[in-house]
Amino acid sequence: MKTYRILFVCLGNICRSPMGEFVLRHRAEEAGVGHRIHTDSAGTSGWHDGENMHQGTQQILAQQGMDNTGFTSSKVKRSDIDHYDYILAMDDNNLRDLEKLFGKHPEKLFKLTDLIPDSGYDHVPDPWYTGDFDETFRLVDSASMALLKKLDLV
């Protein structure tokens, strides 16, 4: 049985991408396929390397009964393109930065919202700026479930 390695990427790796990392991990565990999914996250900027996730992300995960421990922010590495099966960007700027680093790989490198085309969103809004961690959670959760379906795990 194949194990999938998924990397979520945003700008600073403290709000959106760690939310993706922990939500997908939780949803995979709930579906009984946690052993087939390895999640991680990174930022394109490295501005918050070594920090914990944003308090708002911690709070929304805790409210949803999801683990939020054991996280440390880090920056995307060149080797990530070879290590992960899917690299999911939160917005166009993240995708552009990743394509500069890795080249175009549409089969494995795309925006998270591409998984939920009927959502009305073309990116995951950054709650660092919007303050709306609930909105971000809804999108990340919906896309996580769509990814599990795409991988035939639910």
Choosing from 15, 16, 25, 141, the catalytic residue is 16
Q: Active site residue: 40, 97, 126, 141, which one? A: 126
From start to end of 33-79, where are the E strands? 37-43
Residue 16 is a catalytic residue:
yes
How many Å separate Cα 69 from the centre of its chain? Answer: 16
Which of the residues 10, 25, 27, 91 is marked catalytic?
A: 10
Q: Backbone dihedral region of 152: left (phi > 0), alpha (psi from -120 to 50 degrees) or beta?
A: left
Instruction: Count the neighbouring beta carbons within 10 Å of the beta carbon of residue 117.
Output: 10
Rounded to whole angstroms, the maximal C-alpha distance in the chain is 40
The identity of residue 60, as a single letter, is I
Catalytically annotated residues: 10, 16, 126
